[in-house]
């Protein structure tokens, strides 16, 4: 623990035809950025992307964020529902083929306490190299709810993957690491 901590790189991808065309302002991406500013105690840098919905755009953006920008963690927002243009989960698995089903189960269970339509979300988490990729819903309130439901497990997950070390403020999130 005496070695200097490398700042984590956190990718934030807003998949939205309208936000990427400038028709309305992206509020979901900034909500994710604000969440990590509040919760993390270790240094990090954000890589923001606002892109159109769709399979290729989401897949290629995730690959670029992991392989070129060196992200340790990527959060997407948007594109997980039943509409024809909602292709974020498919694109995520194409870029990050190793799925962690527990994340989707947990986030849906948390959202279900608020709204019965949570079962429509196909959001998932998966691994590309040493990076964890997590699909979040579109609305800022649901984003916080989903992140709260999984965040205690994320620092240890990144450690096991060989990604950068992150720590959380225990006033918000009591992260769990098993004793060796």
Q: Is 137 helix (H, G, I), strand (E, B) or coil?
A: coil
Q: Which of 161, 165, 167, 172 binds a copy of itself (CB under 8 A)?
A: 161
Q: Check residue 54 for interaction with a copy of itself (CB under 8 A).
A: no
Which position among 4, 22, 170, 178 is part of the footprint of a copy of itself (CB under 8 A)? Answer: 178
Residue 64 vs 99, nearer CB to a copy of itself: 99
In this structure, what token pair is assigned to residue 49?
């992307």
- Judging by DSSP bridges, how do beta strands 125-128 and 131-136 pair with one another? antiparallel
Q: Per rule CB under 8 A, is residue 106 in the interface with a copy of itself? A: yes
What is the distance between the alpha carbons of residues 140 and 56, in angstroms, rounded to a whole number?
25
For the chain, helix, strand, coil in percent to 5 are: 40, 20, 40
94 contacts a copy of itself (rule: CB under 8 A): no
Are 150 and 134 in contact by the 8 Å Cβ rule? The answer is yes
| Residues at the interface with a copy of itself (CB under 8 A) | 81-84, 90, 98-106, 108-109, 112, 115-122, 124, 127, 132, 150, 152-153, 156-157, 160-162, 176, 178
């Amino acid at each position: 623990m005496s070695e200097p901590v490398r700042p984590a790189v956190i990718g934030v991808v807003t998949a939205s035809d309208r936000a990427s065309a400038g028709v309305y302002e992206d509020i979901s991406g900034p909500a994710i950025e604000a969440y990590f500013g509040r919760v993390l105690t270790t240094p990090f840098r954000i890589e923001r992307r606002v892109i159109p919905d769709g399979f290729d755009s989401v897949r290629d953006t995730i690959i670029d964020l992991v392989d070129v920008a060196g992200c340790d963690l990527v959060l997407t927002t948007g594109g997980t529902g039943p509409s024809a243009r909602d292709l974020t989960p498919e694109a995520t698995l194409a870029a990050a083929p190793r799925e962690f089903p527990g994340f989707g189960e947990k986030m849906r269970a948390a959202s279900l306490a608020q709204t019965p339509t949570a079962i429509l979300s196909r959001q998932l988490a998966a691994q590309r190299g040493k990076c964890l990729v997590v699909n979040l819903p579109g609305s800022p309130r649901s984003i916080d709810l989903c992140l709260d439901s999984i965040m205690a497990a994320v620092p240890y997950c990144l450690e096991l993957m060989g990604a950068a070390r992150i720590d959380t403020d225990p006033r918000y999130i009591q992260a769990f690491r098993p004793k060796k």
